Structure 1
Amino acid sequence: MNPALPKHEREWVRPMSPYGVSKLASEQYTLAYQQSYGMATLAFRFFNVFGPLQRAGHVYAAAIPIFIDALLRGAPLPINGDGTQSRDFTYVGSVCRVLVDAVERRVSHPEPVNLAFGTNTSVLTLVKQLSEVTGREAQLDFRPPRIGDVPHSQADGSVLRHLFPEVAPVEFEDGLRRTVAWFEGAALP
């Protein structure tokens, strides 16, 4: 695992989990088809995508839906590690804007592209913001760190901004509000 921050697409990678290895293999297959057969491809690296329709009740659920679900039920939030680990959370609406633009303009690139905007939010900061958005105080259940978990993740978004200069990300707090509203069953305009 490369500890450098922010994570630039050209830096070395060494996934520490089978999940990470499978993502890297898919990316490399995509780029190999581009190189070998001239296919116009675009291999995105997604960073902690969250938003409505992302459910909490399964083994591969992401932190944000798990935390929102726990907060709304009054249950403790499971924190793997000490909560200082950080992530580049990206709202699904921002991801969709980039994907639609890529398809409409037929964007391709010979290297991977980070699809994130360079934020860096700790798990404990996320919990604080979710408590503010929901108006509920979080109870924390600290657990051992997950094997192969990356301590910190933050994208270098310079290639993304070059390829998609018109796309502006949804602000993190706004994305949290929209996601909480979905969990609460409220419709947003």
Structure 2
Amino acid sequence: MSPYAVSKLAAEQYTLAYQTVYDLQTLAFRFFNVYGPRQRAGHVYAAVIPTFIDQMLRGEPVTINGDGFTSRDFTYVGSVCRVLLDAVERRVTHPEPVNLAFGTSTTLLALLDELETTVGRPARRIHGDPRPGDVPHAQADNSSLRALFPEVSPVDLSAGLADTVEWFRSLEVVPEHRGHA
């Protein structure tokens, strides 16, 4: 448990309470490690994938919290968008939260191996202390997602990482707009 997790649980429960009490059609999703283009690195809440990519492209060492065997169910943002769009178009509701992930499990070390292939060079790896309150493994039970959205298939990790790395590389050649609109 963490304050972050409690805040997410509270939001879900408010949503489901409105569904029950006021007959409001709702669908509470639980997102699992969403990543993809336009997700920036460099702030305290930055996700692991943009942080690793940014460090690798800058030639900096990649900092792994803990032993690297922490695993996550990484979900590409395009897959998330397809599910959300389908949910809105079909007005899908459900009486319980739905995990928006596809039941994969990738360790941080395996993620770095994949990123090294995608980026085309090895990463210098540094291990730091585990993050306080971090769960060692997160993998979604996607049975509700599959039942409600049988037509949606996930973008696999290697393709999603390739798109994400390509976007990061595009930032290197396109100067930031510093003028006023």
Structure 2 equivalent of residue 132 of structure 1: 117
2:137 to 144, 152, 177: 152
- Cα drift, residue 172 of structure 1: 1.0
Confirm or deny that 1:178 pairs with 2:124.
Answer: no
**Max radius of gyration: which structure?**
2
Q: TM-score, normalised by structure 1?
A: 0.89
Structure 2 equivalent of residue 13 of structure 1: none
Percent identical among aligned pairs is: 68
Matches within 5 A, 1:25-174: 25-174=10-159
Separation of aligned partners in 2, 1:168 and 1:86:
21
Separation of aligned partners in 2, 1:73 and 1:57:
12
Q: TM-score, normalised by structure 2?
A: 0.93
- Cα drift, residue 171 of structure 1: 1.0
Separation of aligned partners in 1, 2:69 and 2:50:
19
Structure 2: unaligned runs, 5 residues or longer: 172-181
Separation of aligned partners in 2, 1:32 and 1:80:
37
Separation of aligned partners in 2, 1:141 and 1:29:
41
User: For the aligned residues, what is the CA RMSD?
Assistant: 0.8
Structure 1: unaligned runs, 5 residues or longer: 1-15
Structure 2 equivalent of residue 8 of structure 1: none
SS at match of 1:142: strand
Structure 1 equivalent of residue 177 of structure 2: none
Separation of aligned partners in 2, 1:22 and 1:154:
20
